[in-house]
Structure 1
Amino acid sequence: MRYMLIMQAPESMAVEQAGGVPPAEVFEAMGRYNHDLVEAGVLLAAEGLTPSAEGFVVTHDGESATVTDGPFTEAKELVAGFWILEVASREEAVQWARRCPIGPGVRLEVRRVGELAEFEGVAPTEVLDAEATLRRRIAEREAERHQS
């Protein structure tokens, strides 16, 4: 099963507020954590996110979409990065989340990633088949990208 670990930092602690670059110790601790995840064979993806000033929010009113550029000053917490892990159980996800070297005031939200099979009997079969085809295409493209 897959879990997403979402690192959220209060706006006051966000990298964009702290002058742009975290201390070297933060990079070193995260590097060790990521290394351990890779060595354990559970890491599928991990990325840090750019400052919210470079992002945007899309909202829908039912008829059209509105794009609002960052920074997201109204946010109390900003998403700073994420990991996607593939683990055997919720308990294993909890263990990895507890090891994450987040500092005081930083929040790590952990959510299970839903599997396509969970939508069987809920979503129309043709929608599930189309989604399965898309996921195969993504996997093929990823494999091709790694071969070149």
Structure 2
Amino acid sequence: MRFMLIVKATADSEAGVMPSQELIDAMQKYNEELVKAGVLLAADGLQPSSKGIRISYPEPGGKPKVIDGPFTEAKEIIAGYTLIEVKSREEAIEWALRMPDPHGFGQGEIELRQVFEVEDIMDNPESLAREAALREQAREQKKA
């Protein structure tokens, strides 16, 4: 089971305030623990929404709309993420509870969401085979 630990933005992260060395050290220690346990798939911070772009689809079948950041309502913006693969929802919660306050100062908020597996979304054998082939092709391209 894959889970994403979504770190919510704060006014500081949206202003581009970099984390303290103490917080960097704590996050590196946490990531090292994830690696040692064999559950870490990815972990990254994101640039502020002022450097972001949103693409929306305001009308069915209509042309997409491109909007440059910044975006309002920092609590709805993602500042970073960690992607883990674990055996259960409970294990994912345990790992999320071990994450240091991602912004320090008691401002951090983490949202934990399970990632859909391909089999959860599609049951057509042909579609599943096409998806498996695409994923394998992507893996091979990364190796090259």
TM-score range (shorter-chain normalised) is 0.7 to 0.9
Kindly indicate whether the alpha-carbon contact (under 8 Å) linking 1:33 and 1:99 is maintained by their aligned counterparts in 2.
Answer: yes
C-alpha displacement of 1:16: 3.6
Say which structure is richer in strand.
Answer: 1
The alignment covers a number of residue pairs equal to 139
C-alpha displacement of 1:32: 0.6
1:85 equivalenced with 2:87 (yes/no): no
Stretches of structure 1 lacking an aligned partner (at least 5 in a row) = none
CA distance in 1, matches of 2:137, 2:18: 37
1:26 equivalenced with 2:14 (yes/no): no
Identity of aligned residues (%): 45
Q: Which amino acid aligns with 1:138?
A: A
Match among 106, 109, 113 for residue 107 of structure 1: 109
TM-score (norm 1): 0.85
Stretches of structure 2 lacking an aligned partner (at least 5 in a row) = none
CA distance in 2, matches of 1:131, 1:41: 25
CA distance in 1, matches of 2:108, 2:87: 26
TM-score (norm 2): 0.87
What is the 5 A alignment of 1:1-148? Answer: 1-10=1-10, 12=11, 14-17=12-15, 20-60=17-57, 61-62=59-60, 63-102=62-101, 103=104, 104-121=106-123, 124-142=124-142, 144-145=143-144
Kindly indicate whether the alpha-carbon contact (under 8 Å) linking 1:9 and 1:105 is maintained by their aligned counterparts in 2.
Answer: no
